[in-house]
Amino acid sequence: MTAAAPSSPPVRRPRARRYGAVAAALAVVAVAAPVPAVAAPAAPVGAAALEEVMFVGNNWEGTVDVIRSRGDYARLGRVNVVPDKQQRLWEIYLNPIKLAFYLGIQQGPGEGHDQLVDDMYTTPDGTALVASRPSFADVVSIDLRTGAVRWRFPVSGFRSDHMAVSPDGTRVAVSASTSDTVHVLDIDTGKQLGSFGTGDTPHENIFTGGGRYIWNMSIGDVNSSLDAPSQDWTKGDRKITIADAGTFAKVKEIDMRPRLDAYGRSDLSDAVRPAVFTPDESRLYFQVSFFNGFVEYDVAGDRVTRVATLPKNPNTTEDRTKWVNDSRHHGMSISPDGAKLCVAGTMDDYTTIVDRSTLTPGPLVTASKPYWATVSGDGRDCVISESGADQVTAISFATGQKVVSVPVGDHPQRVRIGHLPAGWTPPAAR
């Protein structure tokens, strides 16, 4: 089937001005016994009273919607993840440096809005939701019965970002964007277990090897307007950092620049954005800044093996300074059998299911600024967040067609699988 770009993209909110100058051994990994990729931690043994659900972080609103993880994806409730908002704002207003970064985040990555929830996971017992809050530069644990803050961890620097949870659900890794650090926390207590340094502006985190390693992808300075290909070198030190999840020592650093050059794609940015491993962790698929497509990387061979260019929407501006945080496409997931990839074409207003063997895209499903992609609880669908339409949409891996859309809060971004006590009632409804 030949895919055609959407003819009339949905109306998108106006974008605010960019952030500007406010924010001043692989071989060991490759030979480790392959393990199945884990999209979310399994419910703990003996926890028969837990129900699998899906969490949707409404970044500009500071809320998380709870929806069914499969089927009709019906909305079950909403959680406020900024119950301490006024206290946090007073702390910021009384500190000129914090205030400068807060306003920079608001006018840059936030597109004129606060960034109040980026990423989230539940504790193994399903009683708390742990969320990163970029504008408040912290990670908090919200009691899912009372809605109160259980613990709060301020990250180093001035902004928190993407997180990852270990396969056993006990540890959470969070990127501290402005300090080039990943903190690893005990998910129940918020105590820091360790940390490690990264490249400039750490972003995506992934646990591999059954929880033995943490891969971090740094994206460099995405807030400058130096976006022309000839200015790519100004974006900073971008690399993948692989750390031992037990000792937090660096195992390897991977700079994709020479690897992309060797493949003949010196035109591509080496800023690795959202990424997914195959179930056996032998291949890594990732998006890079400014590119309408993705890259395939052979982990053991340490080389780029294929690059897939996906359709452009003819209505998308070619002015790279207008693309949010340098990302033309942002969001990937992979079907449980590893046969299909789901790709969010963020600035091109579509999502598509890609055959992994041929890298051929399926139908282009029109979507308004899709910002993330994950897998449904039953593995049948790819679930995307449509940040421009305030909804999530499920797309069938089998057919590539839209299944259903469900309204959520303001500017949904991260979508994660989690668990709640069966019969859960939202705190506000108690």
Task: Identify which of 139, 140, 134, 196 has the alpha carbon closest to the alpha carbon of residue 159.
Answer: 134
DSSP codes, 135-194: GGTEEEEEETTT--EEEEEEPSSS-EEEEEE-TTSSEEEEEETTTTEEEEEETTT--EEE
Residue 41: the pLDDT is 56
DSSP 96: H
User: What percent of the chain lies above the pLDDT cut of 90?
Assistant: 80
Task: Identify which of 133, 115, 86, 18 has the alpha carbon closest to the alpha carbon of residue 410.
Answer: 115
Query: Is residue 305 classed as helix, strand or coil in its secondary structure?
Result: strand
For residue 426, what are the contacts with CB-CB under 8 A and spacing of at least 6?
Answer: 66, 76, 77, 78, 79
- Rounded mean pLDDT, 190-202: 98
Examine residue 312 and state whether it is found in any structural domain, yes or no. yes
Examine residue 234 and state whether it is found in any structural domain, yes or no. yes
What is the C-alpha to C-alpha distance for residues 197 and 108, in angstroms, rounded to an integer? 24
pTM of the full predicted structure?
0.88
Examine residue 73 and state whether it is found in any structural domain, yes or no. yes
Examine residue 21 and state whether it is found in any structural domain, yes or no. no
Q: Please report, for the domain that includes residue 383, its CATH number.
A: 2.130.10.10
Residue 234: the pLDDT is 86
Give the pLDDT confidence of 212-240 residue by residue, as tens digits: 999 999 999 888 788 788 888 888 999 99
Dihedral (C-alpha) 182, 90, 17, 133: value to the nearest 10 degrees? 30
Examine residue 43 and state whether it is found in any structural domain, yes or no. no
Domains of the chain: total: 1
Q: Name the more confident of 62 and 323.
A: 62
Domain interval for residue 155: 50-429
Q: If you average pLDDT over every residue of the chain, what do you get? A: 89
Pairing of strands 240-244, 213-218: antiparallel
Residue 326: the pLDDT is 86
DSSP codes, 355-372: ETTTTEE---EE-SSEEE
- Rounded mean pLDDT, 393-412: 98
| 135 Rama class: left (phi>0) / alpha (psi -120 to 50) / beta | alpha
Instruction: Please say if the pLDDT value at position 33 is more than 50.
Output: no
Examine residue 30 and state whether it is found in any structural domain, yes or no. no
DSSP 270: -
Examine residue 262 and state whether it is found in any structural domain, yes or no. yes
Evaluate whether 70 touches 381 at the Cβ level (below 8 Å). yes
Residue 29: the pLDDT is 40
15: number of Cβ within 10 Å:
11
Examine residue 94 and state whether it is found in any structural domain, yes or no. yes
Task: Identify which of 21, 60, 56, 110 has the alpha carbon closest to the alpha carbon of residue 325.
Answer: 110
Residue 382: the pLDDT is 98
- Rounded mean pLDDT, 96-109: 89
For residue 198, what are the contacts with CB-CB under 8 A and spacing of at least 6?
Answer: 175, 180, 181, 182, 216, 218, 239, 241
| Percent composition of the chain: helix, strand, coil (DSSP 3-state, to 5) | 15, 40, 50
DSSP 200: S
For residue 253, what are the contacts with CB-CB under 8 A and spacing of at least 6?
Answer: 199, 239, 240, 241, 242
State the amino acid at position 267 in one-letter form: D
- Rounded mean pLDDT, 72-84: 97
